[in-house]
C-alpha cells in the first residue's frame, strides 16, 4: 500500500514504481542510462501514455541539474512535432521525502530506427517525415536551444506518420560552451568531431541530413566504426575542408590531422542518391555542408521546394525564448532538488474525480452537440464554412469529391491526426439524404483493422429543425495505394501483405452482407507501416439490393457490371481485388480500357471470350447480342503476362479474374490460398455482425431521413480507444 492517498505501488523489472491511480496497466517499454519508460493507460485523458521514471535523479549535482533541465525543457515544449509534458508527479508529499520523479508524455509507438529496419520508405513518406522533423527543429531552435542528439531512435513516429522529436536529456542552450561526442557517431556533425568549442544549431541540421539520407537509401549514410573512420567516411562524400574552413577550426590538433589527410574531392550527391527525387537531393546538398556556417537553417529548409505541398509559414510556429538563467547558476544538490520539487508542484495537469470521468464518457456525444455556441469554431475550407468542435484543430484540406470534402485535423484530446469529412449538402434531396444516412450507418457498423471505421460524428446544430450539415471523423492514414504505386514499384512480399489485408477486410465486409462496389487503389488507404484500410462506403450496398452498373472506376470494374446484370454478387469486389493485385505486380493497370466497349475488349484479350453457357446467364439481351457478335479470342496464360511473379501469386489471380462470377473465389476462400500462408491466422480473420438493411430499403420522405440521421449522431459512442488510428 502506498503511503500517499491516490497512488499505488507496482514492481516492474525489480524496481518499485509508485504512481497515481489514473495511470493503469503499466507495461515496460524501454530503459536507458537516465531512466526507465512504461506505457500506461490514462483513465482521465482516455489514452495510452508513456511514463518515465528517472533513475536516481538526485544522486549527484550533475544528476540533479540534469533532472531539472529535462523537466523544464519538457514543460517549455508545446508543439505538435516535439515531445511535451502531459503530467509530472512524485509520490512524495513533502520536500524531505522527495527522491523519485516521473514524467508523463505522449506514447508514440515506433521510432524512425524501427521503421527504417523493416521497410523502405517512399519519397512521399520521406517528404512528410522530414518536413515534420524540420518543423519541430525550427520550434526548438527558435527557443534558443540545440538538440545535439538527433538520430532515428530519438524521432518517434505514430501510426499516422506523425512525428515528434524526443529526448532532450542532452539538449543545451545555444550560448553554452559545447563539447564533442554527445550525438551518436553516425549522425554527428563534423564540427563536433573536430572539437569546435562553440558550435551552433546547425549541428542538428547535419543530423537531419544524415537521417534523411538514410531514409532515402535505406541504410546509414556514414556508418563509421570509430572517430577516425567516421571523419574519413564524411570527407569521402563532402570532400576535405577548404583552407578557409580550416582556419575556423579552434583545435590545433584537429587542424594538423586534417592537413595530414590526402585531398578528397566532394562527390556528386545525384550519383550517391541515384533515382531519388532531385528536389530531395538538392535539399541534402544544403544540409550536408562541411562548413556549418554554409548550412541551411531549419526555417530556410522548410521553404525549400521539396516541401511545397506542406509548407505553410503560418503553421510553422516559433517558441518563446527558453530562460536559461536558472540552469547556469552553481547550486547545491539540495537547492536543485528544491527547484525540481517546485516545478513539479507548479505544473498544471488535467484532474478529474472518478465520478467526473464516468460522466464525461456517458455524455461525451451529447455534450459535443450542446456546446455548439461555446465549444465549436468556424473556419473556411476551400470557400466552404466548416463548424467543428474545438478539439479538432489545424484543419487542412486533403481531398474533395462528388459527395464530400475531407480535411486532416489534429485531435487535441487524443493527440492523434484524424480525417474529417464534411458531406456535401446531405439533405438537398431524398436521394442524398438516404445516401448520407446509409454512409453513416455503414461506418458505425465497421469495426475491423482493415476497414475504415468511425472515431466521431458531429454536427454544430443542437436542434433538428436547424440540422443541415454533419461531419464524419475517421483515422488519418497518410496515403493510398494509388499514390504509393505511382512513387515506387512494390516487391512481391509487400504485395502479399497488402492484398492479404485487403481480402481480410473484404471477408469482414462481405460477412455483414455488404458489397463495396468501388474497390480501386485510391480507396485503399495505407500508412507507413504498410497497414491497409478499405475506404469509402459511399457507394456500398447490401448484397440483396438491386444493383446497377457503372459505379466503380472503369479499370477495376467487373465484367458483369459492364454487361449490366441487375443482380450481381459480392464477387464483383473479388474481380476488383484481382485487378488491383495484378497492377501491384505489373506496375501498371491490367485492363486499361478507354471506354465502356474498350474495357470489355481489354478484359477479353486476357480472359478470352465467354463460353456459350456463360452468355446464356446474362439477363441483358443487348449484352448477349454484343458478346455473340464479337470475334472469338482465346484465353491468355497469366504466367506469361506476369512472368516475374511467383506461381502462387499468379494462382490467386487465376481464381479471381474469371469472367463467370459464380466461378470466382470468395474473399474467405482467397485467404486460404498458399500465397498468404505466412500471414494466415484464422482467429484474426474475423466476420462482422449482420448489417440490418431494413431502414436502407425503406422509402421515406426527406424529413424522416434527416430525423433518423440526427438520431444516429446523438446515439454514437466513440471507440473505447479512439487513438486506434492506423499510419
Give the chain's domains with CATH numbers.
Answer: 1-107+325-349 (3.30.200.20), 111-318 (1.10.510.10), 354-475+697-714 (3.30.200.20), 481-684 (1.10.510.10)
Residue 169 · residue 227 · CB < 8 Å? no
Could you report the average pLDDT of every consecutive run of 10 residues in the chain (727 residues)? 80 90 90 82 87 90 89 92 94 93 88 76 87 96 92 83 76 43 74 71 96 94 86 92 83 80 92 93 96 94 90 88 85 92 85 43 37 73 86 88 83 91 85 87 93 94 89 92 89 94 96 90 87 74 38 75 70 96 95 80 91 81 79 92 94 95 94 93 91 84 92 87 42
Supply 436's cell numbers. 448520407
Q: Report the distance separating Cα 598 and Cα 651, nearest Å.
A: 26
Q: Report the distance separating Cα 670 and Cα 652, nearest Å.
A: 7
Helical spans, DSSP H, in 468-594? 481-487, 492-511, 559-562, 571-586
Residue 172's pLDDT is 47
Residue 389's pLDDT is 93
- Please state the residue numbers annotated as binding site for ATP: 53, 422
Supply 169's cell numbers. 536529456
Identify the helix (H) or strand (E) that includes residue 280: helix 278-287
Residue 574 · residue 499 · CB < 8 Å? no
Supply 663's cell numbers. 466461378
Residue 298 · residue 286 · CB < 8 Å? no
pTM of the model: 0.52
> CA torsion sign, 657 to 663 to 667 to 671?
negative
DSSP-assigned beta bridge partners for residue 451: 448, 534
CB within 8 Å of 209: residues ≥ 6 apart: 284, 287, 288
Find the helix packing angle between 492-511 and 647-656, rounded to 10°. Answer: 30
Supply 343's cell numbers. 516545478
Residue 2 · residue 91 · CB < 8 Å? yes
Q: Report the distance separating Cα 607 and Cα 658, nearest Å.
A: 7
Q: Report the distance separating Cα 104 and Cα 50, nearest Å.
A: 6
Residue 185 · residue 260 · CB < 8 Å? no
Residue matched to cell numbers 454512409: 439
**What single string gives the DSSP state of each residue in 41-57?**
EETTTTEEEEEEEESST
Q: How far is CA 328 from the centre of its chain?
A: 39
Helical spans, DSSP H, in 151-251? 190-193, 202-217, 227-238, 243-248
Supply 673's cell numbers. 490460398
Residue 248's pLDDT is 80
Residue 726 · residue 452 · CB < 8 Å? no
- Please state the residue numbers annotated as binding site: 53, 422
Q: How far is CA 648 from the centre of its chain?
A: 31
Q: Active site includes 149?
A: yes
DSSP-assigned beta bridge partners for residue 165: 82, 155
Q: Report the distance separating Cα 149 and Cα 169, nearest Å.
A: 9
Residue 67 · residue 54 · CB < 8 Å? yes
Residue 393's pLDDT is 93
Q: Is 454 left (phi over 0), alpha (psi -120 to 50) or beta?
A: beta
Rg (CA), the chain: 29
**What single string gives the DSSP state of each residue in 593-642?**
-SSHHHHHHHHHHHH-SPPHHHHHH-S-HHHHHHHHHSPP-PPPPHHHHT
Residue 185's pLDDT is 85
Residue 594 · residue 600 · CB < 8 Å? no
Please tell me which residue in 42, 111, 149, 573 is annotated as part of the active site.
Answer: 149
Amino acid at each position: 500500500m502506498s503511503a500517499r492517498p491516490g497512488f499505488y505501488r507496482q514492481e516492474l523489472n525489480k524496481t518499485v514504481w509508485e504512481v497515481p491511480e489514473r495511470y493503469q496497466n503499466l507495461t515496460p517499454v524501454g530503459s536507458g542510462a537516465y531512466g526507465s519508460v512504461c506505457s500506461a493507460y490514462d483513465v482521465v485523458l482516455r489514452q495510452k501514455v508513456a511514463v518515465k521514471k528517472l533513475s536516481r535523479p538526485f544522486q549527484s549535482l550533475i544528476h540533479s541539474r540534469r533532472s531539472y533541465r529535462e523537466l523544464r525543457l519538457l514543460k517549455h515544449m508545446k508543439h505538435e512535432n516535439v515531445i511535451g509534458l502531459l503530467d509530472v508527479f512524485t509520490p512524495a508529499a513533502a520536500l524531505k521525502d522527495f527522491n523519485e520523479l516521473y514524467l508523463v508524455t505522449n506514447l508514440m509507438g515506433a521510432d524512425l530506427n524501427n521503421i527504417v529496419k523493416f521497410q523502405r520508405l517512399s519519397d512521399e513518406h520521406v517528404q512528410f517525415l522530414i518536413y515534420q522533423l524540420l518543423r519541430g527543429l525550427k520550434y526548438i531552435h527558435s527557443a534558443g536551444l540545440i538538440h545535439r542528439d538527433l538520430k532515428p531512435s530519438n524521432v518517434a513516429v505514430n501510426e499516422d506518420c506523425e512525428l515528434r522529436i524526443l529526448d532532450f536529456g542532452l539538449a543545451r542552450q545555444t550560448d553554452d560552451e559545447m563539447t564533442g561526442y554527445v550525438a551518436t557517431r553516425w549522425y554527428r556533425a563534423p564540427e563536433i568531431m573536430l572539437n569546435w568549442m562553440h558550435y551552433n544549431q546547425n549541428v542538428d541540421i547535419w543530423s537531419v541530413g544524415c537521417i534523411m539520407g538514410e531514409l532515402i537509401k535505406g541504410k546509414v549514410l556514414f556508418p563509421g566504426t570509430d572517430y577516425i573512420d567516421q571523419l574519413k567516411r564524411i570527407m569521402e562524400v563532402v570532400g576535405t575542408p577548404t583552407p578557409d574552413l580550416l582556419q575556423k577550426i579552434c583545435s590545433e590538433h584537429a587542424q594538423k590531422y586534417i592537413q595530414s589527410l590526402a585531398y578528397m574531392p566532394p562527390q556528386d550527391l545525384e550519383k550517391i542518391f541515384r533515382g531519388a527525387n532531385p528536389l530531395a537531393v538538392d535539399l541534402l546538398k544544403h544540409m550536408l555542408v562541411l562548413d556549418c556556417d554554409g548550412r541551411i537553417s531549419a526555417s530556410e529548409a522548410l521553404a525549400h521546394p521539396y516541401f511545397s505541398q506542406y509548407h505553410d509559414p503560418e503553421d510553422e510556429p516559433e517558441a518563446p525564448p527558453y530562460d536559461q538563467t536558472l540552469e547556469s547558476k552553481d547550486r547545491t544538490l539540495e537547492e536543485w532538488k528544491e527547484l525540481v520539487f517546485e516545478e513539479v508542484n507548479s505544473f498544471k495537469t488535467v484532474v478529474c474525480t472518478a465520478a467526473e470521468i464516468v460522466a464525461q464518457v456517458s455524455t461525451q456525444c451529447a455534450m459535443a452537440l450542446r456546446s455548439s455556441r461555446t465549444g465549436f469554431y468556424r473556419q473556411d475550407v476551400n470557400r466552404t464554412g466548416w463548424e467543428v468542435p474545438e478539439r479538432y484543430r489545424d484543419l487542412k484540406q486533403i481531398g474533395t469529391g462528388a459527395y464530400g470534402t475531407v480535411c486532416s485535423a489534429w485531435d487535441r484530446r487524443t493527440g492523434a491526426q484524424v480525417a474529417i469529412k464534411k458531406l456535401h449538402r446531405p439533405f438537398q434531396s431524398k436521394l442524398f439524404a438516404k445516401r448520407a444516412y446509409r454512409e453513416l450507418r455503414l461506418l458505425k457498423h465497421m469495426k475491423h483493422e482493415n476497414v475504415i471505421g468511425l472515431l466521431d460524428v458531429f454536427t454544430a446544430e443542437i436542434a433538428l429543425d436547424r440540422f443541415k450539415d454533419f461531419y464524419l471523423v475517421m483515422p488519418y492514414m497518410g496515403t493510398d495505394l494509388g499514390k504509393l504505386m505511382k512513387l515506387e514499384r512494390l516487391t512481391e512480399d509487400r504485395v502479399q501483405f497488402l492484398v492479404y489485408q485487403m481480402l481480410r477486410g473484404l471477408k469482414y465486409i462481405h460477412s455483414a452482407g455488404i458489397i463495396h462496389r468501388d474497390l480501386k487503389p485510391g480507396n485503399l488507404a495505407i500508412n507507413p507501416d504498410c497497414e491497409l484500410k478499405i475506404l469509402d462506403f459511399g457507394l456500398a450496398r447490401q448484397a440483396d439490393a438491386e444493383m446497377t452498373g457503372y459505379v466503380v472506376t472503369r479499370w477495376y470494374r467487373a465484367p458483369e457490371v459492364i454487361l449490366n446484370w441487375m443482380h450481381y454478387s459480392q464477387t464483383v469486389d473479388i474481380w476488383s481485388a484481382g485487378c488491383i493485385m495484378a497492377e501491384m505486380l505489373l506496375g501498371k493497370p491490367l485492363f486499361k480500357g478507354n471506354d465502356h466497349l474498350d474495357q470489355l475488349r481489354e478484359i477479353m484479350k486476357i480472359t478470352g471470350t465467354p463460353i456459350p453457357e456463360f452468355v446464356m446467364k446474362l439477363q441483358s439481351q443487348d449484352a448477349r447480342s454484343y458478346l455473340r457478335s464479337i470475334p472469338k479470342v482465346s484465353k491468355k496464360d497469366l504466367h506469361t503476362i506476369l512472368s516475374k511473379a511467383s506461381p502462387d501469386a499468379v494462382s490467386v489471380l487465376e481464381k479471381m479474374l474469371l469472367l463467370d462470377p459464380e466461378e470466382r473465389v470468395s474473399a474467405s476462400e482467397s485467404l486460404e490460398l498458399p500465397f498468404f500462408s505466412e500471414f494466415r491466422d484464422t482467429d484474426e480473420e474475423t466476420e462482422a455482425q449482420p448489417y440490418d438493411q431494413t431502414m436502407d430499403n425503406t422509402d421515406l420522405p426527406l424529413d424522416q431521413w434527416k430525423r433518423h440521421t440526427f438520431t444516429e449522431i446523438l446515439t454514437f459512442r466513440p471507440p473505447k480507444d479512439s487513438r486506434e488510428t492506423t499510419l
